[in-house]
Amino acid sequence: MQKTRIAKLAGTLVCTVFLGKSALAATPTAVNTSASTKSAETLPVESVRIISMKDARQPFDMAAKLQWNPHDQHWDKVLVLYNGAANPPQEHPVWKYLSHLSDPKRHPSKPGENIGYQSFKLNAYCEGTTPLSSGKAWVVNFNQNQLGLYGEKDHLRDWNCPDWTMGLDKAVIVNGALSRTGKDQSMRIRLPRGLSGCDSPASCVNWKPLLGAKLDSLYYSYWVKFPQSFEFVMGGKLPGIGSFNANSGGAKPSGHDGWSIRAMWNLKGQLGQYVYHMDQPKPFGEFFEWDLPPIVKDKWYHIKTFVKLNAGGQKDGIVKTWVDGKVVLDKHDLRFRAGNNLPIERFLFSLFYGGSGPEWAPPRDMDIYFDDFVLSSSDD
């Protein structure tokens, strides 16, 4: 048997769904609080009180908690939807969190006590951790994703719900002859003609997922291919890593703000490391050309980089890169930080032509292919 209680609480609409065992075994229903009617969605948690609230200061879309119910003298599982947020889908982590909240078997210690308050964003299909959080390698290979346009759900799950999702509409999952092995799936990104720089989602792809760990050293690798029709123009950026606030765009690091390490191709099709570090000679990052012939089009390259941050102000930071197993760069004299803070915190999935300005822009749409991203704290 299912009972629904709808009441007014502090100026908000409160809807509670109570599900008996027989109802739960069938199809539990969720409540659409904005319309105060039941929807066809299913509710993954047995009994949840859903509250809609308006709070302009609240940056999150929802929160989960245990809240004392004085009428029934027990703790309710409560989902608060802020500022008109919609009910989260079944696979949203808030439901898992609510299902794990347990009754403390006591009365509240003070009026209005909440237990286990945790805020969430509506698009958060992850909990802020990655395999790196537990010392394992983080692998993104696209084989489990749907073919076609790279969907938001796959993107959020693959990349730990990055705050930046610029250019997501430019990414497509492909297979067959377009994939790296012909038997798996890869990602194709199409950069639009006539645009350069990364000031807007129209011109670039720019995702900045947190690693789920704060590290002083990291190995990261991926496969990349430039198809036969690709034009290098003046050059462009490829993925890398950085601090929480990763310096770029002409912001020379002071040692107290941030740093970044990405790859880059130049107008000759030469690959290299593009590094924002304390001793760079100009405001924009320094380009360290790799010991490698110019890019061969239609060839898959395996790029692997090891970064070790410098010890407090010392010139002993390391950037070492291999391409197809060959060492192409080995620097041991870099300064990224003045102290021992500013750890490695982000992967920078950065792809665009530029620099900026019309001289950097491609004359037509250009494709680049990626596959098998691996980030690891050890060289396994």
Residue-wise pLDDT tens digits, 60-73: 889 999 999 999 99
| Residue 162: band (very low, low, confident or very high) from pLDDT cuts 50, 70, 90 | confident
Under CATH, to which class is 131-376 assigned? mainly beta
Averaged over 362-377, what is the pLDDT? 98
Please, what sign has the CA dihedral across residues 261, 326, 272, 339?
positive
Distance CA 170, CA 188 (A): 8
Start-end ranges of CATH 2.60.120.200 in the chain? Answer: 131-376
- In which band, very low, low, confident or very high, does the pLDDT at 1 lie, cut at 50, 70 and 90? very low
CA-to-CA separations, 230 to 94, 135, 149, in angstroms, rounded:
43, 38, 21
Q: Is the dihedral of CA 309, 310, 316, 317 positive or negative?
A: positive
| Helix, coil or strand: residue 46 | coil
Instruction: Locate the DSSP E strands across 86-144.
Output: 114-120, 138-140
pLDDT single digits (tens) 320-344: 999 999 999 999 999 999 999 999 9
Whether residue 18 is predicted with pLDDT greater than 50 in this model: the reply is no
Dihedral sign from CA coordinates of 304, 199, 142, 344? positive
All residues at 6 or more sequence positions from 117 whose CB lies less than 8 Å from its CB, including other chains: 63, 64, 65
Q: What is the pTM of this model?
A: 0.73
CA atoms within 13 A on the CB side of 34: 9
User: 208: helix, coil or strand?
Assistant: coil
- Cα–Cα dist 47/19, whole Å: 6
CA–CA separation, 2 and 19 (whole Å)? 5
Number of residues that this document lists for the chain: 380
